[in-house]
Structure 1
């Protein structure tokens, strides 16, 4: 209790914690409490002397033991450093001990796994030959596919499928099955690609048999795939034909299409059974008509050929009759498979023939008009006597006196000769009308020439121009009518139409209307001539097959 009061007196702000529990300090306070006043007065000097003595002793001790103190300090410092490092190492060790324990556990687990794997490896080594055969199945299948041994490849694929169903949980077996599926797709593509080559019928049967066994397509899909692949191959052949010469291109297209398209049709009918009226399209029982697949594809190919034919015939400048004959033979040959398409070609052929004849006739007419623009009447003697009953188809000699008429006649004869094998009865009306219109333009051109030049005509030139008109009306016009009757014989027309020759003549089929043609220049013709002479009243009693030749 008294000690506490002393502490409060000495340390009014609180005694330091280091002195509260210091026994020496407490004993010294107790000793001071037992001292007298004199002792207390001397205590300060005593303490000073004792302090001085202690300092001197300490200094002597330090001087005498200086080296020892230094060594002690160094040792203390080293010991402190070592203890500090040791503490850090221990802390690090304590930190890493859990990880070390974990790694030890992992090591034990790994060691156990290694032992298990070692056992499995030993077991694998003992059965390595059998396992090697299984592992080589995909590479063996790939080799078979590359060498075209699809039968063996299908057998290997079937074995791998069974192996996968039985041991599909094993990763290596699963990998083998995956490789087989990839090779399966490659084999499918290779088989489809082989259909796009020049195959014989036995080879086609074999390839389609493989595709059926692969079960990659339904029956309708397989038919479509077959036709698509064969079409791609045929299109490649047709695309390789040079397109510079339209005649050669069409001729080669006909040849290749006729041969290969018929072979494809034969292969299709031999491979696919069309006895059943409908085919199941798959698991869903939806019936597909077999005719839609085959004849739809065939119709497309025929349409493609007709497009090519129309384009090439339009660009062709020669041998039109030969190309048309080849086209019609091509269409007829497909009657053996129920696909005679001559009826589809006929309108296009007639259109092309008529277009070419019309263009040629326009050129001939235009050339006559140009000749009339530069024509000069010559003052030469001209015989007014016309040749009656001229034999054969030799052009009238009087045309030689007037070169515009001679060139016009030669142009028509060239047209008749060029298209002599292409004239069909169905075009008789159009061609007759076109020739008649051409002659009307000729008459108009003659009249225009007269209106332009008659003012400056001399008397001999007037006679020459009259002879020109007479030659045109009574020599050239009957001759053209005779040529038309050779091109379209009346007896042939009568047989085709089922009427008599007189009825043909009465209806004017294949006859030019001379009055209409000469109406423009009627006033320029001598009155002594009858317009009906040698034209529309020319009755054909006998027709002969003659070849038109131009002088």
Structure 2
């Protein structure tokens, strides 16, 4: 604005000019207009402006009176607009506050929708690959089917394939789950194979099962040998467990048969499957044990169990010689595989034979004791037995024994014991046999002495003669006859040959010879004096069978 206009404004508006007028175009135009007026016009200008003001005011009043309703409505409308604009402004402020959250939610929604779109594409792709995916998902079920159907070869190949596949896609959860299911089936397969080893198997089947176990690589070779022996041993134990035990002879017979056949089969299978000829490296052994020790320790345990059963059942068995023959055949067959246990049988059978003989002798002695208690020579007519010449039949029991039924019964029982013992007579028991028989005969002599002390007061002449014959029959007939029987069972010439000594030394040492002097010592004073004949041995007696007990009857 130029200086003249400023001076004009200062003169015109001494109290100051509102700032809005300065920039008002109408004010500028009016200011330019009055700047061109003359003095007369300027003096008239205030009146003119006042008239215009009054006219405008009148017109305004007329307009307001005429259109007051419109003004009212306009005011109300303005008021409503103002109120609504305030509401809009407040809502807009709230909207501005929520816009960042809305924007964030939109971003998330966009991301979610993009993921859904990606998943939809994947689902579409999955649908097109449904058949292939179904085959993969059914791998655990297929594995179980192979195992249940006995297709172990296919199961092993399938497990190998699954492990390779899951190793390639180890980061995918579904493959991890499939691998877990297949591993569970893997352990089930292991259980199935070990269970089959506990059944009756042929050699090819054993080779097949152990081959599968080797492919599984679950056990080391040493552990696999141990598991094989444990499983086959369990099967052998089950076979022996179900043998009836009511009849001990039958139980022992079946035990020998089943143990021999089945144990030999197990050894054959083991030798065919495992090669124990080569020693394992020292680094793979514990306490420097060779793998052979596992096998032979197991065999030793099984033979020990068999020997325990044998020793227990022999106590109640009928014929020891039959079982000895079977057991010796059993041991001889096992000598082919380096497991000959026949030396271990000697002690068991010798012990049982000794016990059987001693029990039989004790029973015969007890029977005689009961018989002699009820026997008497007082007022009793003894049968007149015609005596035969002893040289007619050297092995025939002396007929004089028949005159006294306790001696006859005792002789029968001893002969029965000898007949059973002769079938299986170990030379090592010769001293035990002689000692047992001597003790029994000494008891007989003491029983005869007791009989004499009880009845001598009532003896008649005939009773005294009968008692003397009883003592002579015991001393001169029964004892020499039993001595002959002993020499048939244990021929002195063979015994002396085995021991490397002569027969005279045998007699001096009491080997196979009864000590008659000690036996008859209790009744020696009751015997008549006589010269003892020299006893001669007949070498031909060794092959002669002892007379059966039926030849002697009381």
Q: TM-score range by the shorter chain?
A: 0.7 to 0.9
Deviations 1:191-216 (A, max 9, x none): 11111111111111111111111110
Check whether the contact 2:401–2:408 (CA below 8 A) recurs between aligned residues.
yes
Question: 5 Å matches for 1:228-243?
Answer: 228-243=230-245
Check whether the contact 1:470–1:525 (CA below 8 A) recurs between aligned residues.
yes
Moved more, 414-423 or 363-372: 414-423
Moved more, 117-126 or 426-435: 117-126
CA distance in 1, matches of 2:463, 2:192: 85
Q: Which residue number corresponds to residue 169 of structure 2?
A: 167
The change in CA–CA distance for 1:453 and 1:401 in structure 2 (over 3 A counts) is same
The change in CA–CA distance for 1:388 and 1:114 in structure 2 (over 3 A counts) is same
Matched, 1:151 2:149: no
Matched, 1:540 2:541: no
Check whether the contact 1:505–1:539 (CA below 8 A) recurs between aligned residues.
no
The change in CA–CA distance for 1:512 and 1:152 in structure 2 (over 3 A counts) is same
Quote the offset at 1:111 in angstroms. Answer: 4.9
The change in CA–CA distance for 1:332 and 1:351 in structure 2 (over 3 A counts) is same
Q: Which residue number corresponds to residue 74 of structure 1?
A: none
Q: Which residue number corresponds to residue 290 of structure 2?
A: 289
Question: 5 Å matches for 1:386-397?
Answer: 387-397=389-399
Look up the SS of the partner of 2:528 in the other structure.
Answer: coil
Task: Please say which structure displays the higher CA radius of gyration.
Answer: 2
Look up the SS of the partner of 1:419 in the other structure.
Answer: helix
Q: Which residue number corresponds to residue 40 of structure 1?
A: none
Question: 5 Å matches for 1:292-371?
Answer: 292-316=293-317, 318-371=318-371
CA distance in 2, matches of 1:180, 1:391: 87
Quote the offset at 1:354 in angstroms. Answer: 0.3
Q: Which residue number corresponds to residue 409 of structure 1?
A: 411
Question: Could you list the runs of 5+ residues in structure 2 that have no partner in the other structure?
Answer: 1-97
Quote the offset at 1:506 in angstroms. Answer: 4.3
Look up the SS of the partner of 1:389 in the other structure.
Answer: coil
Q: Which residue number corresponds to residue 71 of structure 1?
A: none
Check whether the contact 1:490–1:540 (CA below 8 A) recurs between aligned residues.
no
The change in CA–CA distance for 1:380 and 1:364 in structure 2 (over 3 A counts) is closer
CA distance in 2, matches of 1:385, 1:183: 90
Quote the offset at 1:279 in angstroms. Answer: 5.1
Check whether the contact 1:138–1:176 (CA below 8 A) recurs between aligned residues.
yes
Check whether the contact 1:443–1:521 (CA below 8 A) recurs between aligned residues.
yes
Q: 1:213 aligns with which of 215, 221, 226?
A: 215
The change in CA–CA distance for 1:400 and 1:105 in structure 2 (over 3 A counts) is farther
CA distance in 2, matches of 1:452, 1:104: 132
Moved more, 244-253 or 196-205: 196-205
CA distance in 2, matches of 1:105, 1:422: 105
The change in CA–CA distance for 1:253 and 1:491 in structure 2 (over 3 A counts) is same
CA distance in 2, matches of 1:287, 1:164: 40
Q: 1:453 aligns with which of 446, 452, 455?
A: 455
CA distance in 1, matches of 2:298, 2:448: 57
Q: Give me the TM-score of the superposition, normalised by structure 1.
A: 0.77
Quote the offset at 1:547 in angstroms. Answer: 2.0
Look up the SS of the partner of 2:422 in the other structure.
Answer: coil
CA distance in 1, matches of 2:116, 2:496: 106
Quote the offset at 1:500 in angstroms. Answer: 3.7
Check whether the contact 2:140–2:181 (CA below 8 A) recurs between aligned residues.
yes
Q: Which residue number corresponds to residue 274 of structure 1?
A: 276
CA distance in 1, matches of 2:243, 2:458: 61
Check whether the contact 2:441–2:519 (CA below 8 A) recurs between aligned residues.
yes
Q: 1:182 aligns with which of 165, 181, 184?
A: 184
CA distance in 1, matches of 2:111, 2:300: 74
Deviations 1:206-252 (A, max 9, x none): 11111111110011100000000000001100001001111111110
The change in CA–CA distance for 1:125 and 1:466 in structure 2 (over 3 A counts) is same
Q: Give me the TM-score of the superposition, normalised by structure 2.
A: 0.77
CA distance in 2, matches of 1:149, 1:401: 83
Q: Which residue number corresponds to residue 513 of structure 1?
A: 515
Quote the offset at 1:412 in angstroms. Answer: 0.3
Check whether the contact 2:488–2:541 (CA below 8 A) recurs between aligned residues.
yes
Check whether the contact 1:369–1:445 (CA below 8 A) recurs between aligned residues.
yes
Check whether the contact 2:489–2:542 (CA below 8 A) recurs between aligned residues.
no
Q: 2:486 aligns with which of 484, 487, 493?
A: 484
Deviations 1:327-369 (A, max 9, x none): 1211121110111101111111101110111011001001101
Quote the offset at 1:125 in angstroms. Answer: 0.8
Quote the offset at 1:324 in angstroms. Answer: 1.5
The change in CA–CA distance for 1:106 and 1:430 in structure 2 (over 3 A counts) is farther
Deviations 1:295-324 (A, max 9, x none): 0000000000000000000122x1221011
The number of aligned residues is 451
Check whether the contact 2:385–2:399 (CA below 8 A) recurs between aligned residues.
no
Check whether the contact 2:385–2:403 (CA below 8 A) recurs between aligned residues.
no
Look up the SS of the partner of 1:155 in the other structure.
Answer: helix
CA distance in 2, matches of 1:366, 1:123: 100
Quote the offset at 1:380 in angstroms. Answer: 3.4
The change in CA–CA distance for 1:115 and 1:373 in structure 2 (over 3 A counts) is same
Look up the SS of the partner of 2:522 in the other structure.
Answer: coil
The change in CA–CA distance for 1:385 and 1:336 in structure 2 (over 3 A counts) is closer
The change in CA–CA distance for 1:254 and 1:380 in structure 2 (over 3 A counts) is closer
CA distance in 2, matches of 1:375, 1:161: 93
CA distance in 1, matches of 2:220, 2:408: 72
